[in-house]
């Protein structure tokens, strides 16, 4: 039969894994060495280096900086994994800066990461106040996945005050999932703020119904 048991151990097997775990626990990771690896031409090496820098506050700015021009999708994702593992407000700030990036892939990576970091919540009010409506839309996209009981309230603030119809439309959509029944009146008032928008009345109607409200 050709189903055979492997007799030789995997290369880099348990010694590699055990060593990495040990280095992390005792704080003896070679941060500088790993940061150098992050610049190597071999994408696999960069990927492992990024993962090994997870949970390391000293590596946050280098990792966040690398995200801006890392061409490999798996490496970008590994950087996100590492930054999410570290977490905390400095990481959230570094990622929030990328919401202004010209590069859609970088913005997307930042949105994905921010949604997984609880500390992002501290930045939400200022992001929702950003002059750039594109940034505000991205913030609403983060709110669509962020776990925080303040999310519905923030979204309510958007539909009551934001001056951009598109930002409001995004907020309505998220509210159709996380909104509260007592927000139906505020929702119903929204299309009146943007009378030329063909989409908002449809979105509001669907959301109000979804929240168990009544359409007048």
Partner 1 sequence: MTRIALVVDDAATVRMYHRQILHDSGFDVSEAANGYEGLEAAIAQRFDLIVVDVNMPLMDGYEMVTQVRREGLNRTTPIVMVSTELDADDKTRGYTSGATAYLGKPVPPDVLESVADALTQTLP
Partner 2 sequence: MSPTSTAAKGTLSNADFDRFRDWFYRRSGIQFAPNKRYFVDKRVTACIDDSGAANFAEWFARVRLNGDQQLDRQLMNRMTVHETYFLREDYQLECLTASALTDILRTQPSTKPVRILSLPCSTGDEPYSIAIWLTEHWNRIEDIDVEIAAMDIDTESVAAARVGVYGLRALQRLSLTQRARWFTPIGNSEFQISEDLRGAVSFSVGNVCEGADMRSYRDYDVIFCRNLLIYFDEVSAHRAAENLFGMLRPGGLLFLGHSESMSRVTSIFEPVRYADATVYRRPLEEDA
Would you say 78 and 51 are in contact if contact means Cβ atoms under 8 Å apart?
yes
Quote the least distance from Cβ 171 to partner 2, whole Å.
15
Q: Which of 159, 161, 112 is nearest to 138 (CA)?
A: 112
What is the spatial distance between Cα 45 and Cα 142, in angstroms, rounded to a whole number?
30
Give the interface segment with partner 2, choosing from 38-46, 57-65, 119-127, 197-205 (CB under 8 A).
38-46
Q: Build a one-symbol-per-residue string for 104-143: x at contacts with partner 2 by CB under 8 A, - elsewhere.
A: -----------xx---------------------------
Q: Does 33 engage in binding with partner 2 (CB under 8 A)?
A: no
| Residues in contact with 94: Cβ distance below 8 Å, sequence separation at least 6, in sequence order | 60, 61, 64, 83
Give the interface segment with partner 1, choosing from 18-26, 38-46, 58-66, 167-175 (CB under 8 A).
167-175
Q: Which does 77 bind (CB under 5 to 8 A by kind): partner 2, partner 1, none?
A: partner 2
Q: Any alpha helices (H) in 53-183, and if so which ranges?
A: 60-67, 73-86, 89-97, 104-115, 124-127, 133-143, 151-161, 165-178
Q: Does 130 engage in binding with partner 1 (CB under 8 A)?
A: no
Identify the residue among 35, 65, 68, 77 touching partner 2 (CB under 8 A).
77
């Amino acid at each position: 039969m050709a189903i055979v048991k492997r007799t030789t151990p995997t290369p880099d097997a348990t010694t590699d894994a055990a060593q990495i775990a040990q280095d992390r626990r005792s704080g003896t990771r070679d941060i500088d060495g790993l940061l150098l690896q992050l610049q190597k031409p071999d994408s696999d090496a960069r990927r492992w280096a990024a993962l090994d820098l997870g949970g390391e506050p000293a590596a946050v700015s280098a990792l966040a900086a690398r995200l801006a021009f890392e061409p490999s999708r798996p490496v970008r994702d590994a950087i996100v994994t590492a930054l999410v593992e570290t977490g905390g407000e400095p990481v959230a700030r570094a990622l929030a800066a990328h919401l202004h990036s010209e590069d859609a892939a970088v913005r997307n990576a930042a949105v994905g990461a921010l949604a997984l970091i609880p500390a992002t919540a501290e930045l939400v009010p200022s992001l929702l106040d950003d002059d750039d409506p594109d940034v505000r839309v991205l913030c609403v996209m983060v709110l669509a996945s962020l776990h925080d009981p303040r999310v519905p309230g923030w979204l309510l603030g958007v539909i009551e005050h934001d001056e951009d119809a598109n930002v409001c439309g995004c907020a309505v959509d998220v509210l159709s999932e996380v909104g509260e029944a007592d927000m139906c009146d505020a929702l119903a008032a929204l299309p009146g703020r943007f009378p030329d928008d063909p989409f908002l009345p449809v979105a509001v109607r669907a959301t109000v119904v979804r929240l168990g409200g009544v359409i007048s």
